[in-house]
């Protein structure tokens, strides 16, 4: 319902553990975006609840990118994911799969499917792929929020259905913010 640094750290850790080696940070970001996108298709909501934006190398998750590049600090992120070194990230430590307690079975199935479908691609092949997605627009040297309605329409929904899904996401986000304020 609201962005969770712990959840995106666990999503990233999943992909890095499956890779069993360092990974280009741009590749990790595309895998995370594709997991969010598949979650939207299957469950009407992104897994990360992060803001999705287009940048010149394709869609990104905004706060997650800030965590990755170190402009946003998080104990949850830094406990699992290394800082970027030579354009790559790696796991900070080994972990037990049951430590990924922010991820539901449905989340894990989506992450597994995304890794099976895209994990073998090289970083620039993945960038080329995400540039074919209907929601991607080249923002030049800046960034531009992704229109979730376009993403939902790419799943075969009508304009009205896609608009309803976006309205539900906005309501869900507001509810999450209110709940966070109460705790």
> Of all helices (H) and strands (E), which one includes residue 177?
helix 159-182
Six token digits for residue 68: 């990755």
For residues 42-50, give the mean pLDDT: 96
| Residue 33, CA distances (Å) to 81, 93, 175 in order | 17, 24, 23
Average pLDDT, stretch 57-76?
95
Whether residue 117 is predicted with pLDDT greater than 80 in this model: the reply is: yes
And the tokens for 82? Answer: 């290394």
Predicted TM-score of the model (pTM) = 0.96
- Report d(CA 80, CA 151) in Å as an integer: 30
Give the angle 4-116-24 at the CA atoms, nearest 5°: 60
Q: pLDDT tens digits, residue range 158-175?
A: 999 999 999 999 998 888
Please state, as a whole number, how many other Cβ atoms lie within 10 Å of the Cβ of residue 15.
21
Number of Cβ within a 10 Å radius of residue 73: 10
pLDDT value at 30 more than 80:
yes
Q: What angle do CA 26, 31, 34 make, to 5 degrees?
A: 125
- 5 in Cβ contact with 73 (< 8 Å): no
Confidence of residue 13 (pLDDT cuts 50, 70, 90): very high
For residue 176, what pLDDT band results from cuts at 50, 70 and 90?
confident
């Amino acid at each position: 319902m609201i962005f969770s640094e712990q959840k995106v750290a666990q999503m990233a850790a999943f992909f890095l553990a499956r890779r069993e080696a360092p990974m280009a940070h741009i590749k990790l970001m595309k895998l995370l975006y594709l997991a969010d996108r598949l979650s939207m298709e299957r469950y009407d909501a992104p897994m990360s609840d992060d803001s999705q934006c287009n940048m010149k190398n394709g869609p990104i998750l905004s706060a997650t990118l800030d965590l990755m590049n170190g402009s946003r600090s998080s104990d949850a992120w830094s406990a699992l994911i290394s800082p970027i070194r030579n354009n790559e990230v790696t796991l900070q430590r080994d972990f037990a799969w049951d430590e990924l307690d922010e991820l539901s079975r449905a989340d894990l199935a989506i992450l597994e499917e995304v890794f099976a479908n895209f994990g073998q691609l090289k970083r620039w092949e993945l960038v080329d792929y995400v540039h074919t997605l209907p929601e991607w627009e080249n923002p030049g040297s800046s960034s531009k929020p992704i229109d979730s309605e376009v993403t939902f329409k790419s799943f075969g929904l009508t304009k009205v259905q896609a608009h309803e899904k976006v309205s539900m996401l906005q309501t869900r986000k507001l509810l999450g913010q209110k709940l966070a304020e109460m705790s």
